[in-house]
Amino acid sequence: MNSSGWKLPFFTVWTGQAFSLVGSALVRFALIWWLTERTGSATVLATASLVSTLPVIVLGPFAGALVDRWNRRWVMVISDALIALFTAFLAYLYWLEIARVWHVYAILFLRSLGNGFQGPAMRASTSLMAPKDQLARVGGMNETVQGVVNVVSPPLGALLLEILSMQGTLSIDIVTAVIAIVPLFIVHVPQPEAQDDVEEPSSVVHDVVEGFHYVWGWRGLFFLLLVLASMRFFLAPSMTLLPLLVTQHFGGQALELGWINSAHGFGFVAGGVILSLWGGFKRRTVTALLGLIGVGLGLLGLSLVPATAFGLAVVVMFFRTMMIPFIRGSVLAIFQSYVPPEIQGRVFTLIVSAVSIMAPLGLAIGGPLADAFGVRLLFALGGSGCLLIALAWAFNPTIMHLEDRPRRRASEGQRPTVDSPAAGN
């Protein structure tokens, strides 16, 4: 795209979506806190996490296929509006003082379903609104915003609950949704060009299968997906069981857990800022590989920090989390640059679904291991696993040369021939 004049329209939309992210984080904090106070049940919290994840895992590829079919601006408008409407209904139930746990489950599920459309539509639109050489920086900015939200949403949510009550706090999400929607009526959101060689409309299932074929046919992308899923398998248990590391190994309480969670949030901010200013190496796979090595060293370091050196653990956590934006921002930039715009929705959601499903699998294995051998072993295994994945990545030319693939349309990119430059990617 033309590198001039893109910033104002893109960042107008981007800023609105960033406000929406803040509102969603406040809702999430408020509801989890209410469930904690109301029930004190780990099972209830685990169920809340599950109902928030299921739409992404099960329905994600179908949502992505629909995003590729529909007008992406209207997908974002309707998704944001429906998410706000669901939250408004729950706020009304709280106002009537009749809200129940199952109401929260239902709203979390519906909000996640809405985000399953909104997120892919925004990511796919980004590749058409921002120049290709700026996508890594945009990814860094996204990670920065996510880090800021992680830092400010807990204390801000707690303050708002004290000042505004539950229904008032939930109403903030309605305001931020309006802020996100208004720019979408002002700014032109480009659509991918229609494919001239499409003879007749295909079914949604056909579109989902086409997304599978595209990922399978591009070996570099398929292997990268395996790497990301494996990384998620090792990372998910460590963050979920972080409170046990703080209490059992370091002998800490809520204050110490707050410190290490703050280090986690500030690490996201720092890594996002660095990537947005630097832009990463020219070969973005190298930037992502550097991030994976840093994450692995950070997890391994947390397992080795002595019980008397909690301050060092906070520093190591900061370093570990600072490296994550290098992975996420760079990988997203690769996808946005090389996956054809007309199928980005279904490919993005397929990747997110495949990676997300590894989190419960990792927890299913990591939880019993931590109970049997101690939580430090889990962090050591997680760090070692990430470093082994990084080693395999570094010596896999298919992934390292993934960006040598020419940019193609969807119909041209599914089955590279032996003679084509993309055959080995």
Long-range CB contacts (within 8 A, 24+) of 415-420 = 415/213, 415/217, 416/217, 416/218
What are residue 309's phi and psi, to 5 degrees? Answer: -120, 55
Q: Can you tell me the distance from the alpha carbon of 53 to that of 45, in angstroms, rounded to the nearest whole number?
A: 13
pLDDT of residue 25: 82
Map out the domains of the chain with their CATH numbers. 1-184 (1.20.1250.20), 204-407 (1.20.1250.20)
Q: For the chain, what percentages of helix, strand and coil (3-state, to nearest 5) are there? A: 80, 0, 20
Q: Can you tell me the distance from the alpha carbon of 43 to that of 36, in angstroms, rounded to the nearest whole number?
A: 10
In the chain, count H helices and then E strands: 18, 0
pLDDT of residue 244: 75
Q: Can you tell me the distance from the alpha carbon of 126 to that of 16, in angstroms, rounded to the nearest whole number?
A: 14
- The residue to which tokens 């029930």 are assigned: 39
Burial of 193 (0-12, 13-18, 19+ CB in 10 A): exposed
115 Cβ contact list (under 8 Å, min separation 6): 24, 56, 79, 83
| pLDDT tens-digit series, residues 200-219 | 556 777 777 777 888 888 88
- The list of the chain residues with pLDDT below 70 reads 1-4, 40-43, 45-46, 193-202, 240, 254-255, 258, 405-425
CB 290 within 8 A of CB 162: no
CB 289 within 8 A of CB 394: yes
pLDDT of residue 298: 95
Helix, coil or strand: residue 396? coil
pLDDT of residue 420: 32
Q: Can you tell me the distance from the alpha carbon of 284 to that of 305, in angstroms, rounded to the nearest whole number?
A: 32
Give the predicted TM-score (pTM) of the model.
Answer: 0.67
Question: What is the secondary structure of 41-52 as a DSSP string?
Answer: -HHHHHHHHHHH
Question: What is the secondary structure of 291-337 as a DSSP string?
Answer: HHHHHHHHHHHHHHS-TT-HHHHHHHHHHHHHTHHHHHHHHHHHHHH
